[in-house]
Amino acid sequence: MATLFHNLQPAPPDAILGLMEAFLKDSRAGKINLSVGVYQDARGTTPTLECVREAERRLLEADAAKSYLPITGLAEYDAGVQELLFGEEHEIVIAGRASTAQTPGGTAAVRAAADTLWKLRPTTKVYISQPTWPNHPSIFAAAGLKVEVYPYFDADKNGLALAAMLAAMEHMPPGSAVLLHGGCHNPTGVDPTPDEWRKIAVVLRERNLLPLIDFAYQGFAEGIREDARGISILCGPGQEAIICSSFSKNFGLYSERVGALTLVAEDRAAAETAMSHAKTCIRANYSNPPAHGARIVAAILADPQLRGQWEEEVAGMRRRINGMRKLFVETMKACGSTRDWSFIERQRGMFSFSGLNPVQVDRLRSEFAIYVVGNGRINVAGMTEGNIMPLCRAIAAVTQ
Ligand code: LMR
């Protein structure tokens, strides 16, 4: 009899979540997790934000029904997402030429974007940055789309390879989707400046390329509004775009799975029609999103006091990460490393691209119980004053 599961070889572990599982199983004392992109505070724990606790208290009292949400989720949440992306006064919001669907996390937003692209134009090529979040190519491939790469990171200057990126865009077939990280690029921590975003926006428009923006770290670089500058530049008058939001990090709502898919079209009617197609993709996938996380976000955004508290708490996370960047560079020097690590202070958001090679990453894990993603990405938010010294000693040892 032909069987399906007998004698199967196991699939490889996930490049990021597989490390999280391995870390949990590791029984060595003093182990350090710089792999998965989860914020940790100075004590090394992942806090629930105070504004979230307060919103949850209020939700518990309000005792909302647990009936299904619409396919596009909670309407007030969707409106809040657009306000965060563009600001209340933005032409896109006033014209109503964006339509948003709440999704279970940023990953489902990317998948819904991919399924919608496939439905509307199955021949669309999706160009992803080299490097990018390892799940990006898997999601687009799973949706049946062809995935290509464009240069992004200049390893020699630890910065943006802008000229190479623009040159590659000149050769992409019109109608292709270009996946861009709205800010705090994952894994490199290298973002375009506003001027560079403008240059990118010009080529996208001239070449008729669709910006497909993954935006998961709003507030982790400079501030809530400041970090959305790139998106505003990319979404100029009349420009179409797809934006995938995640609130895992900036609301600390990882396990609640809170994200959104926003389709920006030339006018309100086109946006609504486009969303009607996205809805059919969502319905065939997870049907409709879970309510709790979105209710928390909507409650925080709607209440000026909670919103102020949230912005303060995001600023606190940002300040701590930047403090750790500085401390890391100083401690590497104190540990006798002769490498120039100053680029770590220039990179933005949760991650830095350390330049550690796979052999060094393996040694960190096997000899020192330090977990780093295979491509050398380190989660700076996993550093604390308590673990910085053993961490830097180990990195100095493997990079000698
Ligand atoms: C990460 O990049 O570590 C996070 O976005 C978590 C994930 O799902 O990979």
Using DSSP bridges, classify how beta strands 159-160 and 153-154 pair: parallel, antiparallel or unpaired.
antiparallel
361 C-alpha to ligand 1 centroid (Å):
18
**Active-site residue, 303 included:** no
Question: Each residue of 280-289: pLDDT tens digit?
Answer: 999 999 999 9
CA angle 23/25/31 to nearest 5° reads 45
pTM of the predicted structure, to 2 decimals: 0.96
CA angle 25/29/35 to nearest 5° reads 55
The CATH number that domain 17-47+318-399 falls under is 3.90.1150.10
Give residue 64's pLDDT.
Answer: 82
Residue closest via CA to ligand 1's atom 1 equals: 37
Query: CA 137 to CA 245: how far, in whole Å?
Result: 18
**Active-site residue, 133 included:** yes
Average confidence (pLDDT) over 339-346: 94
Q: Which of 115, 197, 227, 249 is catalytic?
A: 249
Question: Each residue of 44-87: pLDDT tens digit?
Answer: 999 999 999 999 999 999 988 899 999 999 999 999 999 999 99
- Inform me whether the pLDDT recorded for 135 exceeds 80: yes
Give residue 393's pLDDT.
Answer: 97
Q: Which of 132, 133, 214 to mutate to test the pocket of ligand 1 (most atoms within 8 A of CB)?
A: 133
Run of H or E including 370: strand 370-371
Query: Residue 23, Cβ neighbours under 10 Å: how many?
Result: 18
170 C-alpha to ligand 1 centroid (Å):
30
Ligand 1 site, residue 37, Cβ cutoff 6 A: yes
Give residue 2's pLDDT.
Answer: 79
Give residue 307's pLDDT.
Answer: 98
Question: Each residue of 250-273: pLDDT tens digit?
Answer: 999 999 999 999 999 999 999 999
Check whether the bond before 390 is cis (ω within 30° of 0): no
37 C-alpha to ligand 1 centroid (Å):
5
Domain assignments of the chain as residue spans, ordered by start: 17-47+318-399, 68-302
Structure tokens at 92: 């896109």
Fold of 68-302: Aspartate Aminotransferase; domain 2 (3.40.640)
3-state secondary structure of 353: strand
Average confidence (pLDDT) over 106-116: 98
Average confidence (pLDDT) over 99-117: 98
**Active-site residue, 119 included:** no
- Inform me whether the pLDDT recorded for 1 exceeds 80: no
CB within 8 A of 121, min separation 6: which ones?
A: 175
Check whether the bond before 187 is cis (ω within 30° of 0): yes
Ligand 1 site, residue 33, Cβ cutoff 6 A: no
What is the rounded (10 degree) CA torsion for 199, 201, 206, 209? 130
